[in-house]
Amino acid sequence: MFRKTLFSLTALAIVVSIYLIFFVAPIPIDPMDAGGDPINFKIFYFHVPIAITAYLAFTFVFVSSIMYLRTKKEIWDTRAVSTSEIGVIFAVLTLITGSLWARSAWGEYWVTWDVRLNTSLILFLIYLSYLMVRKSIDEPEKRARLSAVFGIVGFIGVPLSFLSIRLWNRATVHPVVVGPGGGGISGVTVIGTVLINIIAFILLLVSLVILRMENEKLAGEIVSIKRMKNL
């Protein structure tokens, strides 16, 4: 029942958010300030919620890693790896949508010296490395323990990426969108659309993690059955 409700809410939230973006929400800047086609700036409504969802996913990896080291329960390791895999997808989408937005705003897909772009790329590479480390270790307990340590240490990339444009504001052309001093976005429709998209992508994250955990559980059961047959 919970799953059906969650999946239904996720689908509804995504449909509503897409409708708002394309048929209701205005271009989030003055069209005269656009370096390219002003309509391209609507990628903002996807980019910001996706980036926030990626940060949230990696935060949950951090929490799950701590809980695994404290309890040694396999469920926390499963939650960590499942969330990290979905988080990496959101991190890739953050880079893609950010590059598309940059092309319209700054005239190029990647500003090499921009600190937010580079820290976002580093964050993606950290958690891609996390997944590669897991693949390289066969022994389950050792894999879970080392992955948990990696998940805790690697989390430093999240606040560094989020705060980068505040800590090194002279090394970025990226606007501050969220938090104090944030970004010049205003208007009930703009802010409301962003919030609805954040909710939609968080629901999507939770739904995908649940599905991934179920697949991980099934994979574990298959491995156990194969081991029993070999005994």
Q: For the residues of 36-61, what is the DSSP string, one character each?
A: S-GGGGGGHHHHHHHHHHHHHHHHHH
Q: What integer pLDDT is reported at residue 181 of this predicted model?
A: 47
Q: Which residues of 32-58 are buried (b: 16+ CB within 10 A; e: fewer)?
A: eeeeeebebbbbbbbbbbbbbbbbbbb
In this structure, what DSSP letter does residue 138 have? -
Q: What integer pLDDT is reported at residue 35 of this predicted model?
A: 55
- HSE-CB for 115 with a 13 A CA cutoff: 16
Q: Does the predicted TM-score (pTM) go above 0.75?
A: yes
Q: What integer pLDDT is reported at residue 165 of this predicted model?
A: 80
Q: What integer pLDDT is reported at residue 230 of this predicted model?
A: 67
Alpha-carbon span 184 to 190, nearest angstrom: 11
Domain locations along the chain:
44-230
Q: What integer pLDDT is reported at residue 60 of this predicted model?
A: 97
The pLDDT tens digits along the chain (231 residues) read 788 899 999 999 999 999 999 888 887 665 555 555 666 678 889 999 999 999 999 999 999 999 999 999 999 999 999 999 999 999 999 999 988 888 777 778 887 777 888 899 999 999 999 999 998 988 889 999 999 999 999 999 999 998 888 877 665 666 666 554 445 555 678 888 999 999 999 999 999 999 999 887 787 677 677 767 765
The sign one gets for the Cα dihedral 16, 20, 23, 24 is: positive
Distance of CA 194 to the CA centre of its chain: 15
